A and B are shown apart, each in its own frame.
Chain A
Amino acid sequence: MSAPSAPRVVVVGAGPAGVRAAQALVEAGLRPVVIDEGRRDGGQIYRRQPEGFTRGYAKLYGSEAPKAEALHRDFDALRGKVDYRSETLAWNLTPGELHTVRAGEPQVLPFDALLVCSGATDRLAPVNGWHRAGCYSLGAAQIALKAQACAIGSKVVFLGSGPLLYLVAAQYVQAGAQVAAVLDTAPARPPLAALAGLLARPRLALRGLQLIRQLRRAGVALRKGVRPLEILGSDEHGVAGVSVFDAHGDVQRFDCDAVGLGWHLRAETQLADLARCEFAFEPTSRQWLPRLDEDGRSSTPGVYLAGDGARILGADGAEAAGRLAALAALSDLGHAPGRALYQSQHADLRRTLATMDRFRRGLALAFPWPQAQFAGLPDQAVVCRCEAVTAGELRRCVDQTGSREVNRAKAFSRVGMGRCQGRYCGHAAAEIIAHACRLPVEDVGRLRAQAPVKPLPMDTREVLS
């Protein structure tokens, strides 16, 4: 138990970043609150199966099994030392207070320091026809396999770019599913700078190459440098195939009944936005990210960001970032044991993170966001699936109203106004708007987030005071 005057520290997220943050806080003698909307800890990559399920670590986590096991074991050891609240959504944030809800019961958590370890989601780019039944994100395709041991279709095409594209395809092959093709929009020959970055973590880079070999051996058609044309099929019967321009500009068609789509990841930054953190445009990945210092301090005092919710460094990077941000928070709070830990550890942790960041840049260069694809996206392609806004409507909106800013275009066209609040269409919408008004994408701004962070059930009660 910490003394009553101990700083109140709240961690959002019990993934690799959040668990390591909580662990550091406990080591320093605190009893932090840990919030996660999931049923169990582990986060995205090390998501734990429900209690009572008994698939083994090797089966669930493959090569990452030892890390998963270590994270789960360490978090189990923290039980009793942290105030862990599962199935609890952080739905809003005001200065010094986190607002949570669990099964309709809201609560206000005052904090001296907040560690936002909110992770990432798939990053999606619209493809003509992607609204048809049978289209999934790569993450959803992976979760279907991991959680329910089922494939998204009997014959699947994976389209997009990034390490997850090959990983999920390989996991499908391994599970005995039929993978018709893996279609990567990244050029066959990555730029030299990408290679330099990837070599920052040679073992991981090698594992990527192994995945590709594995897919080849299984007879999966692999294409790089493609430009998506259409997800074929009909609105009644769903997906029937995928057509792309291959690297030579020839049209290729692959029959399938399901498609997994994804272009690497995007950080979940709504809480940082509600915390009024400053954002900056990160040109390599072409996304807006909260401004951070080396230790994870945001521009808002008392608010720290770590893990994929701040920078897509992957799970190992998330573990290091979570620990470093927690120690930085304690040090800033003038907490003596925490400051001692920070002083002895921050240099190493920063070094680790610098390596991870080189690798992140390498990945972003090797598997770039397909920015060139948006200009050619046909007018009828749906961009915002929640609100059914097409590329043509968005372009017309820019033309007719002179909107040169994404929130303005949102106000007029409804793009990003639906259930997901632009988390999945926002990046693509910005590219389309920027292209339509001939501005660099960073000049059209970013969609501002508003509460609730995720849809809030209307039967949520009032806070009892």
Chain B
Amino acid sequence: MSAPTRSDVLIVGGGLMGTTTAFFLRRYYGLSVTLLERELVGRQASGTNFGNVRRQGRDLDQLPLANRARAVWGRIKELLGEDLEFVPYGHLRVCYTEAQAAVLEQHAQAVKPLGLDLELFTAEGLRRRWGIFSDGVVAGSLSPVDGHANPRLAGPAFARAAEREGARIVEHAEVLHIEQEGGDFLAYAADGKVYRAPQLLIATGAWSKRLAESFGEPVPLEARAPTMGVTEPLPYAVGPSIGLSSPIETEGLYFRQIDRGNIVFGGGLKSIADPVNIRAYVKPDNTLRQLRELRRFVPGFAHAQLIRVWSGIEGYTADWKPVMGPSARVSGLHYAFGFNGEGFAISPGVGEVMAELLATGRTSTPIEPFSIGRFAGA
């Protein structure tokens, strides 16, 4: 037990980025994998997020990755033996102003050549199709085969599947620091155990700054806490996941209805992230503002009741692009973190790409814009 455990790949962080990578490394490439998670897998951002599986509205340079992820979502049951409650009922973005309607239209044109077909709606069209929005809503854009899934289930399910494929998942293993020795990385865990491997993936979400810095690669990364809430169950009526497209942060809003009938919502200002104590606190005024915006958006929600709020800790980079790919300094070292509040949707794509990269040294999906090297010398 005391000799350092060696594997082909060591993954630090058991969120979705870590667990999906572990799964695909085993499933497609058969490399030996050890994943170290500080507490329980899939419980931080990956387990507390809203559950959007959304491609529209992303930076265009994320589209190939998002498309790849969407393809995995479509095979999720076959891969994991459970569906994670993924429903491809569409993702709808709507807006309050003509100016924003023009932005939606432009976006639809821009993503079409990248393989994403969006369907544009007028206010009348929205009314006919859904009939729930207030009069203020003037236009919309539907991505028909996107949707939503249950984030509480996703990370742990990928971890279990990875284990079934032969990965070693170690929970309650906080990595304190990492050293290099004879071509191996040595990860020292809080309980004194040491793990080693020639390849290393850092996938520690909002907590990645310190480890990246220890390899001489500082990243402007901040922890923030998006604010979520859920209502009591209402009669099932809303298929797609729906978001408001707006440049005004305080009116930001998105919601979806789950099978049981509850409306899950999020958006607007962030709450308080305390990454040191691993706590995220919802600010009550954020919740009340969300209720205001929900009523403005869908007047019928005024009659429902809110039963729970929560938040989670997510890593945000200064340029709103993730950090993903090989280190610019250390060979064998890789990163996947800083997904800026939209990593859930693309996580299975990130896992496939990182596994491919770790196993073959290259990937067919373009990820150069996400290279950590962009921050070098900054």
Contacts and interface: CB of A to CB of B under 8 A. Distances in A.
A457 B305 contact: yes
Interface stretch (B65-73, B237-245, B281-289): B281-289
Interface stretch (B55-63, B181-189, B198-206, B295-303): B295-303
Contacts of B284: 91-92, 94, 99, 108, 451
B147 interface: no
A458 B304 contact: yes
A455 interface: yes
B15 interface: no
A94 B282 CA distance: 9
Interface residues of B, number: 33
Given A94-B283, A451-B282, A458 B288 contact: no
Nearest to B230: A417
A387 interface: yes
Interface size class of A (residues with CB under 8 A): 20 to 34
Given A92-B284, A419-B232, A450 B295 contact: no
A463 B307 contact: no
Given A417-B308, A419-B232, A419-B307, A458 B301 contact: yes
B309 A458 contact: no
Interface string A421-465: 100000000000000000000000000001110011111111100
A460 B232 CA distance: 15
Nearest to B305: A455
Nearest to A457: B305
B232 A455 contact: yes
Contact of B309 (A387, A411, A418, A451): A451
Given A411-B47, A419-B232, A419-B307, A462 B294 contact: no
Interface in B330-364: none
Contact of A401 (B160, B260, B282): B160
A411 B233 CA distance: 17
B40 interface: yes
Interface string A85-127: 0000001101000010000001010000000000000000000
B310 A458 contact: no
Nearest to B272: A94
Contact of B291 (A412, A417, A418, A458): A458
B288 A462 contact: yes
Interface in A403-424: 405, 408, 411-412, 414, 417-419, 421
A384 to B, nearest CB: 12
A227 to B, nearest CB: 33
Name the prevailing secondary structure of the A interface residues. loop
Contacts of B281: 94
B27 to A, nearest CB: 20
B156 interface: yes
Contact of A456 (B152, B156, B160, B306): B306
Contact of B288 (A387, A412, A417, A460): A460
A458 B295 contact: yes
A373 to B, nearest CB: 28
A459 B308 contact: no
B153 interface: yes
Nearest to B300: A458
A75 B260 CA distance: 45
A246 B309 CA distance: 44
Contacts of B283: 94
Given A401-B156, A401-B160, A418-B307, A387 B291 contact: no
A455 B285 contact: no
B131 to A, nearest CB: 19
Given A450-B308, A452-B306, 12 more contacts: A91-B284, A106-B288, A411-B43, A412-B152, A418-B233, A419-B307, A421-B307, A451-B284, A455-B305, A458-B304, A461-B292, A462-B291
Closest 6 CB pairs of A and B: A455-B305, A411-B152, A459-B302, A456-B306, A92-B284, A99-B284
Interface of B: 40, 43, 47, 152-153, 156, 160, 231-233, 260, 281-285, 287-289, 291-292, 294-295, 301-310
Interface of A: 91-92, 94, 99, 106, 108, 387, 401, 405, 408, 411-412, 414, 417-419, 421, 450-452, 455-463
